Structure 1
Amino acid sequence: MTTYSFLAPFAPYRPEQLLPYAALAQWSDAHRLWQGQAVLNDPFQDFAHAAASGFRVPTGTGVTLMPQRHPYQAAVQAHALAVGSGHSVVAGFGPGAVSFQRSLLGAPYRSQLGAVREYLGVMRGLLEQGGISQDGEYFTCHSEFPLMPRPPVELGLGVLRPAMARLAGEIADVAITWLTPAPYVRDVVVPALRAGAEAAGRPMPRVAVMVPLALAGPDRDAAELAAISNTGHTLLPHYIDMLARSGITVNPDDPKGNAEALLTGGAFLYGEAAELAARLREYADAGADEIVLNVTGVHMRYGERASLAELETLLETVTS
């Protein structure tokens, strides 16, 4: 059965800013609270703060960028969050844009897939096998990691294109997509995941889709909300390529046109609650196991009260 979760629609500057969303996750039928990539805060620490404040819920990072931490530190943080919250954690990672890799590492990974394989290999060895001895091109780790009782930690991988999806099928527990239209998930992502899993002789990873959306309203401009939510993504080469593969053409010099293309192509959803529920079911039919509601545009345009009300309405609609 497909579950519904939601993304905290901003990167908090102070951890207490996350608490209203943690409360909504705890008191609603939401399956999990997610956070995306951030620079000024750490999602693992934010979730730990929420748990210490009394809001203990399943959590997920979708996705944290690998250049920011060694996989040993990533394993420690994921383990500590699962123990501290008492709930499962999806530790989702990805290599990030080449420009981001260069800014932190001095040069991008020679092989994106190779770096990801090594990163998740270290984490899985530590978290599931009690230690790892690996001399890698990108990540080296020789360490024991005592196995302790804890809620599950699932290793997630950000997936946009077929090669990464196939790799996720081989090594990840959860494939996490962002801005991917439902037909693209069905026709590209899921087949590649299945092929990778079959080649590795393991079950296909769960599919968690981050879906940017907004409820229609008389004072709202759909293209404006799509632009606020996703303009940054439409300027990055790997998103431009993924969108092109899904039939959506974006131009770095035309943000307004890009927003309209996202709406037309089904990468950003806009409509009444019942209409959005029907369009979200298309993701379930496409193979999504977890649908993550992303109302970042609403939050950035109208603020916290509006985004919380939006999420509450959407969750009531899709889980009723």
Structure 2
Amino acid sequence: MADIVDEVRHIAELGLGGAWWAERHTADALTAATVAGLAVPGLPLGTAVVTTYPRHPLTLASQALSVQAAIGNRLTLGIGPGHRHRVESVFGLRFEHPARHTREYLDVLGPLLHGETIEFNGEIYQVTGQTHTPDAQPPSVLLAALGPVMLRIAGELADGTVAVWTGPRTIGTHVAPRITAAAEAAGKPAPRIVVNLPIAVTEDADQARAWASAHFGGAGQVPSYRALFDREGVRGPADVVVVGDEHEVGRQLRRYADAGATEFIAVPFGSREQTDRTLTFLAHVNREVSAG
């Protein structure tokens, strides 16, 4: 936890726009956000993402609102059903009807985050209850959505999506049009489209891609990610990571913005020198964007 606080304090001092946590075995994402938020004021924080299957929506609503109250309402709550292999092999749960599960989950979670009493009788969830946390505002909710059905659910019931292993072509032709149309049909504001990718500012792009292939190559075997790579027309993770010198990385980030991405979660990788260079450049980009 001390290391997490030090990292977040460092990126705040650099001038980056926020800190996000994925679900890892080493630390609970929402707990990490709470600890960091208490130590580092002002910085927006988020999860990308926590898995819904092992968490009852009433429990998650209570936890998320508790985090909000603790850190002064700076949380973006990114959630997703996860993947069949992990849900079934790690949690020992049945990964059945993920789209129906997600729709019902958001049908329950949304009102609870707004302090409403809910009586819900669905095919999967039957929930009666309320959670009330003084001084907590409902966090923005993002859904990890890759396929057409999940993107429609994200547009209708969430505030946007967080997309991993997704190239700019797929953002522009698949993600942004589908989620935006769903949000418009539901009478909701334009959705947040958050891209989450490894990134490295370096003079040796080939070496960085080789490193990414060695460390992230397994993502190409996950069916939902494989569909994204095929849609993008690339071989795997090494072909969508953002790498190059400052000029090239800036160009790639602009491609995502032009395609419809509203935010970018950077996952720096490589040596300490490389990650420092990456963070310094991203802080420069963030200051430029913030200045308009």
For the criterion TM > 0.5, the same-fold answer is yes
What amino acid sits opposite 1:36 in the alignment? A
Normalising to structure 2: TM-score of the pair?
0.90
Task: Among all aligned residue pairs of Structure 1 and Structure 2, give the percentage whose two residues are the same amino acid.
Answer: 26
Matches for 1:74-223 after TM superposition, within 5 Å:
74-103=60-89, 104-109=91-96, 111-146=97-132, 148-217=134-203, 221-223=207-209
What amino acid sits opposite 1:107 in the alignment? R
Which shows bigger deviation, 142-151 or 153-162? Answer: 142-151
Q: Which of 283, 293, 307 is equivalent to 2:275?
A: 307
What amino acid sits opposite 2:70 in the alignment? G
User: CA RMSD of the aligned region, Å?
Assistant: 2.2
Which shows bigger deviation, 164-173 or 97-106? Answer: 97-106
CA deviations on 1:258-313 (whole Å, 9 max, x unpaired) are 45xx42xxx11211012101110111111111111121x32xxx25x653442123
Q: Distance in 1 between matches of 2:177 and 2:206?
A: 37
Return closer, same or farther for 1:308/1:122 CA change in 2, 3 Å cut-off. Answer: farther
The equivalent residue for 1:292 is 265
Q: Distance in 2 between matches of 1:50 and 1:179?
A: 26
Which shows bigger deviation, 22-31 or 116-125? Answer: 22-31
What amino acid sits opposite 2:254 in the alignment? R
Cα deviation for residue 143 of structure 1 reads 0.6
Which shows bigger deviation, 305-314 or 54-63? Answer: 305-314
Cα deviation for residue 122 of structure 1 reads 1.6
Cα deviation for residue 139 of structure 1 reads 2.8
CA contact (8 A) 2:11 2:279 kept: no
Structure 2: gaps spanning 5 or more residues: none
The equivalent residue for 1:38 is 24
Residue 272 (structure 1) aligned with residue 258 (structure 2) = no
Q: Distance in 2 between matches of 1:209 and 1:228?
A: 22
Count of aligned positions: 287
What amino acid sits opposite 1:94 in the alignment? G
The equivalent residue for 1:70 is 56
Q: Distance in 1 between matches of 2:123 and 2:202?
A: 49
Q: Distance in 1 between matches of 2:205 and 2:220?
A: 25
CA deviations on 1:218-265 (whole Å, 9 max, x unpaired) are 59712223224522321211101121122124xxxxxxxx45xx42xx
Q: Distance in 2 between matches of 1:308 and 1:79?
A: 33
Q: Which of 224, 227, 230 is equivalent to 1:241?
A: 227
The equivalent residue for 1:255 is none
What amino acid sits opposite 1:274 in the alignment? H
CA deviations on 1:125-180 (whole Å, 9 max, x unpaired) are 11114221112333332112226333450111002222211111111112111111
Extract structure 1 runs of 4+ deviating beyond 6 A. Answer: none
Structure 1: gaps spanning 5 or more residues: 1-14, 250-257
Q: Distance in 2 between matches of 1:197 and 1:117?
A: 14
Normalising to structure 1: TM-score of the pair?
0.82
Q: Distance in 2 between matches of 1:129 and 1:83?
A: 13
Where relative contact order (Cα < 8 A, 6+ residues apart) is larger, the structure is 1
